[in-house]
Amino acid sequence: MIATDTAQPWSAADYATNAHFVPALGAPVVALLNPQPGERILDLGCGDGVLTEKLVAAGASVLGVDADADMLDAARARGLDVEQVDGQALDYAAEFDAVFTNAALHWMPDQAAVAAGVFKALKPGGRFVGECGGFGNIAAIRAGIRAMMLVHGHAVPPVEAQVYQTAAEYTAVLEAAGFTAVHAEIIPRPTPLATGITGWLKTFRSGFLDNFGIDRAHQDGFAEEVEDFLRPMLCDHAGNWVGDYIRLRFHASKPA
């Protein structure tokens, strides 16, 4: 479910192959939202629309928004109503009963702008429900990438574009935007990676590697080196890869 990181080129086909676990593991967030027939819902960072379909199937009227054109084409192919929108620049006013988001917020650096836009988009009494990467998310994978960059003499950025917050940090962001009854929690979720680290890197970090001097001709070899480095930590003796995912799950309300 992708939002606004323009440095990362997204491919709906690669996402379906290497990241199908993202919507597959989104069921608890949909259950927390508890969409009702007739509700108007905004799916923020809808990606290819796999979870958006579930909201529609519950009887809700759903608008999906995402910044990536290829992902939106895949969502439209499912017959969904979607728009190309930067999640940091939402421009809806008291239109939605709920805003839902899964695996998208950590791609949006300006968290205050996102929260303010969601708050404005909700009707009084509306709810904001979602899940994204939390503090410590994929720490081993990120460390592996950085280690191999150093081995090859590439500059390592002092900070990363993705935002992985603690529950307390994100609660403060939501409350500053005007939300009440905020509940946020960190949930460790070890996640099987069927295509290993190489498939994961192709889907989620090709743009990052582009930006720091590893061109596409050398990215496959670099990914294999990262995978070899991480094998003792993230791959069991049967060859099964498990990513060290940590999620930030939350719900909040706009005062009536």
The answer to the question of residue 153 being in a domain is no
Q: How would you label 172-181 residue by residue, b for 16+ Cβ within 10 Å and e otherwise?
A: ebbeebebee
Angstrom distance (rounded) from CA 3 to CA 30? 18
> Among 244, 231, 229, which residue's Cα sits nearest to residue 151?
229
- Report pLDDT for 24: 65
Query: What is the Rg, in whole angstroms, of the alpha carbon atoms belonging to the chain?
Result: 18
The answer to the question of residue 230 being in a domain is no
Q: Which amino acid is at 236?
A: D
- The parent domain of residue 27 ranges over 12-137+161-193+244-253
Q: Which residue blocks in the chain are alpha helix, DSSP H?
A: 12-18, 21-24, 27-33, 50-57, 69-77, 111-121, 139-151, 167-177, 196-204, 206-211, 216-234
The answer to the question of residue 114 being in a domain is yes
pTM for this model (two decimals):
0.89
Q: What is the mean pLDDT of each run of 10 residues along the chain (256 residues)?
A: 44 51 76 97 95 95 95 94 97 98 95 98 98 96 93 86 95 98 97 91 78 73 94 96 96 98
The answer to the question of residue 88 being in a domain is yes
Q: Taking a C-beta distance cutoff of 8 angstroms, is the pair 142, 243 a contact?
A: no
The answer to the question of residue 126 being in a domain is yes
The answer to the question of residue 73 being in a domain is yes
Question: What CATH number should be reported for the domain holding residue 31?
Answer: 3.40.50.150
Angstrom distance (rounded) from CA 7 to CA 72? 17
Please list, in sequence order, all residues whose beta carbon lies within 8 angstroms of the beta carbon of residue 157, skipping any fewer than 6 positions away.
Answer: 212
Q: Taking a C-beta distance cutoff of 8 angstroms, is the pair 119, 178 a contact?
A: yes
Convert the pLDDT of each residue in 141-162 to its tens digit: 999 999 999 998 988 888 888 9
The answer to the question of residue 17 being in a domain is yes
- Report pLDDT for 25: 75
